[in-house]
Structure 1
Amino acid sequence: MTATIRTVLGDVTPEEFGVCDSHDHLFIRTPMLPGKKLDDAAAALAELNAFTEAGGNAVVQWTPWGMGARPEDLRRLSQRTCVHIVSATGMHQAKHYDQGELRRVYDQLAGLFIHELTGARTRAGMVKVAGAFHHVDDHARHVIAAAAEAHHATDAPIGVHLEGGTAALDVLDLLCDTHRVPAHRVILGHLHRFPDTRIHRQVAEAGAFLAFDGPSRAHHGTDWLLLSSLGALIDAGHAERVLLGGDTTTPTARSSADGPGMPFLLRSLRPRIERELGHDVASMIFIENPSRAFAVNWRKDSA
């Protein structure tokens, strides 16, 4: 069986995927950011165009079910720009949802995730879940169990929002030991927000992917440690486990609004990584690693 990456326009081979922003958002809404939703298709198009001009080929949108992912707009954007776009199913922390809407689907999450991965017109290519700050709460346990069931039905990778970059080992233990999800199918996000290089090495040694995402946000005080964190992983022999993403979640974070946006990864970070860690490492982070992290031997599909 040949592994493929499921994009909004269909499955592509890992060799086709190219230079990838491994965690970002073209559309997202949440009551936690009132008045700051990403819902402007024209602005999303401008951001994608800027990304392609910087050398980008693929974007993975981690916006899960119920948070305004706008799959049909993603299809149109992919068609117009020729950027491979991977969308997500899954569920974020409970605070990001209307509680009535949450109750309606809460006991049917695995079926919902599997449908969005295999049966929807615009199919997702990953499942997103979320931990809590320094622990895994009951909501996260419920969603993670459903995500694991969806993984076992499809082989889809599971991306994890780590709140403040914390609880990485707790989440990995729950997914891998309790629910038997292989570590290489797990992508742990926001690790730059908790720059404990010992934990980073433990996660990498277990076989999970580490996503360093959201560079140069005004409220993240650990940006200056990013290259040191990456360097520690490279020195320990874990270059093949690292991913990078922009995690743009508000209109003002976009490059068109004088924020770093998606192009920052390729215009600013990639040259620094090439200079300080080597061209081969940069190629792994932006090309080879994403093509492995999101490539799936799909186990279930609809006719």
Structure 2
Amino acid sequence: MSAAHEAAPDRSAGPAVRTVLGDIDPAGLGICDAHDHLFLRSPQLPGQELADTGAAAAELAAFRAAGGAAVIQWTPYGMGRFAGELPRLSRESGVTLVAATGLHQAAHYDPEILAGKRVREDLAGLFVAELTEGIGGTEAGGDGPRDARPRAGMIKVAGGFHGLDRHARYTMAAAAEAHLATGAAIGVHLELGTGALDVLDLLCDELAVPPDRVILGHLNRSPDPVVHRMAAEAGAYLAFDGPSRANHATDWRLPDALTALADAGFADRILLGGDTTTAAARSVNGGPGMPYLLRRQRRRLELALGVGLVTRMLTENPSRAFSAEWP
């Protein structure tokens, strides 16, 4: 029986991964896509919304057939998470799902969402509520009323290109406050893979978030070995997520980047994901989609790093990165 079916509503002691079906033992996570999206809506991606529940179910089935067991969905507040659909999709697919709270870059929202009272006046409280009480009711941004109220299991925020604007600092401050209240990991979208050290300076040095509770996303898009090494030495998790796009460094750099980190003793800091953000990118629509991580990337990385090490990156590392001592 899969972890998705084994999840219990409450778990009283020890670290746990908070899934949409309840908290589970981290050891039950299995082969994990550590950064992806089943649902997503943004004014930056008109006409490419991930809003089809049938396509989401098909994508999960394809991922499961490729050997996948768990998906961390990084879609945050106000971007069409369809959170109430996630428990059903998890049960039917047998894939464990973790939902996110948090807030993306301002450009990904209609102005009325950012002007909403919850975002303006108590963003940290919103994050904490979604982590501890559940995502439900009518959410700005199109999530709509749902029967289920799954709890989020992580916080997602975003930096800018080689820096942090006022919006990023505001959302990261709220994320830090929510982390300190709940223990939840903070995943950070790095714009084109840049700004990792600025993020760590803010979250860890200024806002007291332990580095091992920070997950830096999209580092494959900026294959800078010095920055990778410095972020790993600081204690953060490093996410390499998604096949290359036209404006990103090509995939052939990835094995070398991960080999350098592993040789330096940081293999336990590495996370792997798919980051499907458009309808055209789904495997069921002819794109790479969720199965690409296991069908293509995994095999390439195993040639460079060995089967055992890559398996640890897909299992043990995410089980630590996304678990927490939930209050």
Flag whether TM exceeds 0.5 (same fold): yes
> Is the contact made by 2:222 and 2:249 (CA closer than 8 Å) also made in structure 1?
no
The answer to whether the 8 A contact 2:220-2:249 is kept is no
Corresponding position of 2:77: 65
Matched, 1:203 2:231: yes
| Post-superposition offset of 1:216 | 3.6
Structure 1 gap ranges (5+)? none
Secondary structure, counterpart of 1:125 in structure 2: strand
Identity %: 61
Query: Would the alpha carbon gap of residues 34 and 62 (structure 1) be closer, same or farther in structure 2, given more than 3 Å must change?
Result: same
Q: Which residue of 2 aligns with 1:117?
A: 131
Question: How do 1:223-262 residues align onto structure 2 when only pairs under 5 Å count?
Answer: 223-262=251-290
Does residue 162 of structure 2 align to residue 134 of structure 1?
yes
State how far apart, in whole Å, the 1-side matches of 2:244 and 2:172 are: 29
Over 4 Å off, 4+ runs: none
Q: Is the counterpart of residue 147 in structure 1 residue 175 in structure 2?
A: yes
CA offsets per residue over residues 80-120 of structure 1, 9 Å max, x none?
01110000000000111111221112221000000000011
Residue deviations 1:13-42 (CA, integer Å, cap 9, x gap): 111100000000000000000111000011
Q: Specify the code of the residue in structure 1 equivalent to 2:268.
A: E
* 1:88 to 2:100 alignment: yes
What value does the CA root-mean-square deviation take over the aligned residues? 0.9
CA distance in 2, matches of 1:242, 1:26: 22
Q: Hey, what does 2:46 align to over in structure 1? A: 34
* Correspondence 1:182 to 2:210: yes
- 1:221 is displaced (CA, Å) by 3.4
C-alpha deviation, 1:140, in angstroms: 0.4
User: Residue 221 of structure 2 corresponds to which residue in structure 1?
Assistant: 193
What SS does the corresponding residue of 1:87 show, helix, strand or coil?
strand
Counterpart amino acid of 1:39? Answer: A
* 1:217–1:253 CA contact under 8 A, matched in 2: no
For 1:74, give the aligned amino acid.
L
Aligned to 2:22, which of 10, 24, 37?
A: 10
Task: Give the counterpart of 2:190 among 142, 146, 162.
Answer: 162
CA contact (8 A) 2:31 2:69 kept: yes
1:274 paired residue among 302, 318, 324: 302
User: Cα distance, 1:44 vs. partner?
Assistant: 0.6
Task: Give the CA deviation at 1:217.
Answer: 3.3
Deviation string 1:242-284 (CA, Å, 9 cap, x unpaired) is 0011000011111112211111111111112222211221111
1:119 aligned partner, one-letter code: E
Q: 2:157 touches 2:188 (CA, 8 Å); kept in 1?
A: yes
Cα pair 2:193 2:221 within 8 Å, conserved: yes
8 A Cα contact 1:195 1:222, kept in partner: no
User: Take 1:43 and 1:236, find their aligned partners in 2: how far apart are those partners?
Assistant: 41
Identify the match of residue 102 of structure 1 among 109, 114, 117.
Answer: 114
Aligned to 1:265: 293
Q: What is the rounded CA distance, in whole Å, between the counterparts of 1:241 and 1:221 in structure 2?
A: 21
Q: What stretches of structure 2 of length at least 5 have no aligned partner?
A: 1-12, 135-148
CA distance in 1, matches of 2:244, 2:110: 30
8 A contact 1:216–1:260 mirrored in 2: no
Contact 1:243 1:290 in 2 (8 A): yes
Superposed CA deviations along residues 216-253 of structure 1, whole A, max 9, x for unmatched, are 43443332211111111111110000001100001111
SS in 2 for 1:192: helix
